[in-house]
Chains A and B, each alone.
Chain A
Amino acid sequence: MNALEIKNLNVSIDGTAILKDFSLTIPKGEVHALMGPNGTGKSTLAKVIAGHEDYTVDSGEVLIDGENILGKEPDEISHAGLFLAFQYPLEVPGVSIANFIRAALQARLPEGEDINAVEYYKNLYAKMDALQMDRKFTSRSLNEGFSGGEKKRCEILQMSMLEPKYSIMDETDSGLDIDALRVVSEGVNLMRGPERGFLVITHYQRLLNYIVPDKVHVMYDGKIVETGDKELALKLEEKGYEWLAPAGAGA
């Protein structure tokens, strides 16, 4: 199937269940928003799909176009077509943005084949221009000393260079002012299309004014409790999450 499929996923950390029989399918060409209060498992979901090893997958499957990626190394999952835009992109001293993205692209080439440097820089600069990033950023250390907005732009730059099949945007709107939010959203919108699927994780409805979702899911205590269209996000904005709390679940 042409989709990112998460099937009956159960995940725990140190014996505490975080994702509880979580299922979600994002077909290619669609943008799904995942909303929900803090601590409900949204970021865990993102990290587990990307292959973070701190979590124990008790059962379930994650498929990219039918291929299971659970248990694979993060780099293999990336090669399979997944991109995770981090909520808190890490600062990596001494590794320039240009070298970093280049290494990521190089890793996709067959052994013995090298990236064409001229083409690479042409492409990189074009994408940076679109994201209104100063070209001088290429030689700066990855995210080191960047503002919140610069870090998120840098995530979008990486995504647009790597051209994944599916992108998970983990709270990409956090820490952004309205201008940065607009630029970042445009970057995402430019990549929308029939060949790509998005899962946009956010607390706030605000982002969804810029990145209009096909579907909105509400996550609570490790699973999806409500699914709707973009109107659902507006309703959440107005009423909060409490009305969706499953009986007996602590908020």
Chain B
Amino acid sequence: MSTTFPSTEKNESSPSHAASALPAWFTERQALGRERFDALPMPSAKDEAWRFASASKLDPEILQTVEKAPAPNRTEEAMQRSVLVNERSGKAVFVNDQCVDFEPVSEELQAKGVRYLTIEQALQSEAALLEKYLFQQKTELGSEKYFELHAAFLKAGSVLFVPRGVEIEAPFVNYHWLDGEGACAFPHTLVIAEDNAKVSLVDVFFSVDGESKGFAAGVSSIIAGAGAKVFRKVVQDWNESTVSFQLDNTSAGRDAEVKSVAVNIGAERARFENQVTIEGAGAHVKLYSLTVAEKRQEFDQRTLQTHNAPNAVSDLLYKNALLDRSRTIFSGLIRVAEGAQQTDAYQTNRNLLLDPTADANALPGLEILANDVKCSHGATTGNVDEDELFYMMSRGIDRRTAMQLLVFGFFEEIIEKVESDELAEGLRTLIHQKFEKKIRSKQLV
């Protein structure tokens, strides 16, 4: 098997070595991040925000791990495998937070004012823009400590700025790879879509090999202006020796349409926080997630839909399929501020238990201060429907294949929401690879 050593070669073309002095506000924020990280306590399962989660398994010495993290080695391989989406407007590939491939936005879009840059590039050429938007959104779902850790070590990620009225069809695609034992990454995605702009992007999280221990703490921020349309898709398939945090934040302006679809397949333990704030009347936000858990994987999902403005819709659907002794936690809150009348807010969590030892926890919640709203939340947890199974088998389909079709059908509801045949097909392949091994190796019922 491949053994990796920190690379001693210098990659001359890498932007990380070309950087000149960082802006003072940025280095100060990094220092502050470090300070706050040290000051904040380790999460504990006693915290409401960590209920049911294996907080005790978090590494208290994570700083040492980060400081000893290896440089990337198999960058060629990572580049060659960064092919999930080929129809695109731009692409960035990072390995252990080092940018190894960057495909800029077309000159035509650039002329219209579109900016697609790595964080490092943006710190040089668009420092004012970055200063205005970076870390302006709060995180409050329990991983503040890791948000600060991210701030302290941030150097990789992408900034996407789409000016007023500019519409871009093909997505921007960011790949983040972990390579080698002890690899760390702090992926950042910042999207600013001005009024009536339209843009989509895909964030992909992969590991170069299947065994090396890894750590990632990613943050994303989407700021959607009035009437803006933003569509973000996330594919998380770290290897199953990786601990991952992904802290997402979205702010939707008046009549903005923001949609996110996240597919979570990988990591040993993945914590996923998604907060959406509706700041403008008439905004429409959709949040979809699909998780396929196996072995002893733990997926810990915390969501917050905040409605601060009236006449807006937020709709959340998180689906989890659990195999073996895997665990999922879904904890979601809908918060409707006083004055956010005529809010429609929905939250649905569906868990498909494919093994009696799997464990799905659901903590749905509502906090409503307005009096004229439509809100619902619901969670269901269950096995494959025996009646559906009988129906399929009565057509001559054997039990195993019928199970497979039903489970893939469960996934399909989310997969088709990526609205891209190419990406949907890629996701099916990733999921089926993980799942088919299972379904072949044992009877699932």
Contacts and interface: CB of A to CB of B under 8 A. Distances in A.
A108 B396 contact: yes
B83 interface: no
Interface string A72-92: 011101110001101001101
Chain A interface mostly: mixed
Given A94-B411, A94-B412, A99-B405, A89 B391 contact: yes
A158 B395 contact: yes
B387 interface: yes
B83 to A, nearest CB: 26
Interface string B390-415: 11111111110110011011111100
A103 interface: yes
Interface residues of B, number: 24
B388 interface: yes
A90 B387 contact: yes
Contacts of B392: 92, 100, 103
Contacts, number: 81
A73 B391 contact: no
A89 to B, nearest CB: 7
A17 interface: no
Interface of B (DSSP majority class) = helix
Contacts of B390: 50-53, 74
A50 B389 CA distance: 13
B132 to A, nearest CB: 43
Interface string A213-248: 000000000000000000000000000000000000
Contacts of A83: 394
A162 interface: yes
A141 interface: yes
A50 B416 CA distance: 33
A41 to B, nearest CB: 18
A101 B398 CA distance: 13
B409 A162 contact: no
B142 to A, nearest CB: 32
B394 A51 contact: yes
Given A103-B401, A107-B398, A107-B401, A92 B409 contact: yes
Contact of A86 (B391, B398, B409): B391
A183 interface: no
Interface of A: 50-53, 73-75, 77-79, 83-84, 86, 89-90, 92-95, 99-101, 103-104, 107-108, 141, 158, 162
Given A94-B408, A95-B408, 8 more contacts: A52-B390, A75-B393, A78-B394, A92-B409, A94-B409, A95-B412, A100-B395, A107-B398
